[in-house]
Structure 1
């Protein structure tokens, strides 16, 4: 296949979207899909190690990227699926609203170009308003005047001013009982991605991260309120996930957790509309076929019994986190054999460890056999909490290393403290049922926890000291600090 004929390949990471909620609310994408991998598992339970795994197909103890080392420096570009496609003539681009998957942590070096988008930089050509706020030395009216001066002096003054207005509107909505006027970057990412994919003459390999389903959660313009039913003034920062995680069951937090579940579901429905519109735009805006892989770096714990009554994605390898969507959507007919319009459902176990091989197969132009990526075995791994440890909590517990191995319908678990468990994962998506009468087979876990799970100078407390003030503010808003 010549460069002229090669399809664009677009990996869409719907950050923090779990499989069961996706199946129920991403109805448009489910219908558009040519292939649906129903048993896809992530390689880790939160953003940093999961993104490293998506790039390399490896777990944290192999990539060297985890809670103790949150930069992507240990990964060689040639060890990713991006490098061989770049050598084959693909331009690579990353459009991201995840600060971890951004230049701040070295994620940009894997791509020819990276476009970060954040609440303070909706229009990427304009200035980053949060960076200005962190660097400013003035307050009050003078601070606003200083921003206007800098915005007007910027290469793109109108976009810079718009970024400031949009950020201020979001700030006002957070202080008043009114609906947030903007999403968390989803529409801006889709617009930018459309341009970045359709404008080049040759084939494009794109990676995009949508953070809308990641906390914090609050009603915003565009959500279907018939799904969430939450008052405009609610914001998930009104309680701390770590307090829920430290409690026995949901208790006093049950009503707040129910609100978060509703907003989370409505956000997945919103992302479904945004991405379906993107598919339509790519089909209309480019003669070249685009093949989109819709997946997630990990899912989310929503306080269900199967989640261990946990919230967010700290210190866990639950099915709510590891069972993720993986749908292949194409703007043309190049994914399946001629005459087979799909969808083809791959119901067996599969893993992000094979993401690179899936991409290379789709880009090759050869017949795509999705069943070649079914597995007898898969694994996942984390070390460290990934976010704040509950106040007064046992640090050795929340910061422990954890591993799982899947064998068909069984999930085997072991942590660094010596705890083992066996789960049946043959039931509904994102659910696991413990089988206390079963034991972990001897020799299933290939190695003991090693030096990579110990504290060192690059620990998660130290990493925060090495990022700028604007990045710290973003990480705090996302609940990582």
Structure 2
């Protein structure tokens, strides 16, 4: 029987995780216990700096300009084969557990999954109902709630509304409920088939609300938990210049971010223990990664939009499988490389999917290695219109973010090109924080990277979908809770 596959995404976990975070430094207790079969890939990069396009790349092995899911078209179309579809065709039980609204059926991410569990719903339903009160006032709120309740099953919809409003975030951002569901599934499933389990954990994502005990382990001396939770986490207000945050404020926010990750480590350890308890751990290809990173005051930004710096693109990547025993991988790897690598490990042909992939397998016996990593930010999210609606008049500098971006990164240099004609070049070896732009002094290198980026773009057929994708008001509300203005 084929090995199981588990792909775990720690949403918004950057590899250079502010100061010292155990995952970012390669120390992860449960995995280190199996160090003979685990590889920590230090040079792993995502293809996009936010959830929807990054997960689309992870699922399809393609970059945003090829799969077409981005801020200009918020939908993963069914034109590309997903990893889940490939494994389902091979007889796998395909299961997804999502804590992030973007990763849901509404945006096309259920393709190939036999079971798709959304933790923001107490009873799984196609009709999403939630914080109507955040979208409407007075009679309009009552009217919209009434209309939505009577779509589908009224009892289910009311139950989900009450759960989403009052109970979902009582403990965390869904990790506890996720693990409870995984335990019930693992202990009751028909084990005659191998499984593919995908999980998205949301804990490191804004807002940072770690358990008090974890926060107190990381907060600066003299700062109480209550004081820390009073520090503004209004990313868009900060970017627009409406909210001021001091160096001490960012120190607190970084501490809360570290605490969220420390808490999430414990939850991932629980999953590993669950796999061991049902005797599936030794038979499971286990991959732990992130979809993108985070800016916490870096480059005068918060959240994970408007930029392609390594704070957003450099992500952790752990692979646990016997085929990686005593293996060291120092080459550049991208998340789009994960699907072909999984197929190589499992010895699955899937020629049509492989023809689609832009990823390069990093399986130890693979011949090809990656020369550079490419990332794309196809359109600003939120748009300037959404920011204006939320905040009002914007400072002039904010409109500099109204552009698309592409980047190309080698071991030494990082080149970023904007649709507005802007260019940035950084010597990553000497300037890992990307502070010293070298475009003026290294025009020849800029020209080389510019040409390479054009060659890469011309090497495949790009998807031109720019149609807006409709979403219901509850989805918009939940996305705004996560900081995604629509």
Normalization by structure 1: what TM-score?
0.78
Inter-partner Cα distance in structure 1 for 2:368 and 2:317: 12
Which of 59, 66, 86 is 1:62 aligned to? 66
> What is the DSSP-based 3-state SS (H/G/I as helix, E as strand, rest coil) of the residue aligned with 1:35?
strand
2:448 is aligned with 1:444: no
2:147 equivalent in structure 1 = none
Match of 1:188, SS?
A: helix
Q: 1:189 aligns with which of 172, 178, 186?
A: 178
Match of 1:404 among 407, 418, 440: 407
Residues 246-276 of structure 1 deviation map (CA, whole Å, 9 limit, x = unaligned): 449x964433322221111111111111101
- The CA deviation string for residues 210-254 of structure 1, in whole angstroms up to 9 with x for no partner, is 111111122435634211355236547845212322449x96443
CA contact (8 A) 2:131 2:478 kept: no
C-alpha contact (below 8 Å) 1:25/1:269 kept by paired residues: no
Q: Does 1:381 find its partner at 2:376? A: yes
- State the shift of 1:335 in Å: 3.5
Corresponding residue number in structure 1 for 2:235: 241
Instruction: Answer yes or no: is 1:310 the counterpart of 2:301.
Output: yes
Change (3 A) 1:96 1:40: same
- Unmatched runs of 5 consecutive residues or more in structure 2: 18-22, 142-152, 350-361, 388-392
Structure 1 regions of 5+ residues with no counterpart?
Answer: 141-151, 171-179
Equivalent in the alignment of 1:27: 28
Pair 447,240 (structure 1): closer, same or farther in 2 beyond 3 Å: farther
Which residue pairs with 1:349 in the alignment? 332
1:98 equivalent to 2:100? Answer yes
Task: Name 1:267's counterpart in structure 2.
Answer: 260
Return closer, same or farther for 1:385/1:453 CA change in 2, 3 Å cut-off.
farther
Tell me, yes or no, if structure 1 residue 475 matches structure 2 residue 479.
yes
The answer as to whether partners of 1:8 and 1:291 remain within 8 angstroms in 2 is yes
1:84, 1:165 → 2: CA distance? 35
Return the alpha-carbon distance in structure 1 between the equivalents of residues 330 and 484 of structure 2. Answer: 34
Alignment of 1:123-162 (within 5 A): 130=130, 160=159
C-alpha displacement at 1:30, in angstroms? 5.4
Instruction: For 1:362 and 1:474, locate their aligned partners in 2 and report how far apart those are by CA, in whole Å.
Output: 37
Residue 323 of structure 1 deviates from its aligned partner by 0.2
Question: In the alignment, is the contact (CA less than 8 A) between 1:424 and 1:433 conserved in 2?
Answer: no
Q: Does 2:166 correspond to 1:168?
A: yes
1:110–1:441 distance in 2 versus 1, CA, 3 Å: farther
| CA-CA distance at 1:29 after TM superposition | 5.1
Measure the CA separation in 1 of the matches of 2:136 and 2:240: 36
- Given candidates 224, 228, 240, the residue that maps to 2:219 is 228
Q: C-alpha separation between the residues in 2 aligned to 1:280 and 1:356?
A: 25
Does 1:108 find its partner at 2:110?
A: yes
1:323 to 303, 308, 314: 314
Residue 53 to residue 456, structure 1, CA distance change in 2 (3 Å): closer
Q: Which residue does 1:147 correspond to in 2? A: none
Which residue, out of 333, 338, 343, partners 1:360? 343
State the distance in 1 between where 2:61 and 2:315 align: 15
SS at match of 1:445: helix
Instruction: Write the distance in 2 (CA, Å) between the matches of 1:480 and 1:247.
Output: 18
Matches within 5 A, 1:111-122: 111-118=113-120, 121=121
> For 1:283 and 1:427, how far apart are their aligned partners in 2?
43
Render the CA deviation track for 1:300-324: whole Å, top value 9, x for unaligned.
11113xxx12111111111011000
Alignment length (residue pairs): 440
Greater CA deviation, 237-246 or 7-16? 237-246
Deviation readout 1:360-386 (Å, 9 max, x if unpaired)? 123339995177674212201112222
What is the SS of the residue equivalent to 1:381?
strand
On the 8 A contact 1:183/1:222 being kept in 2, the answer is no
Residue in 2 aligned with 1:295? Answer: 289
- 2:200 maps to what in 1? 209
SS in 1 for 2:380: coil
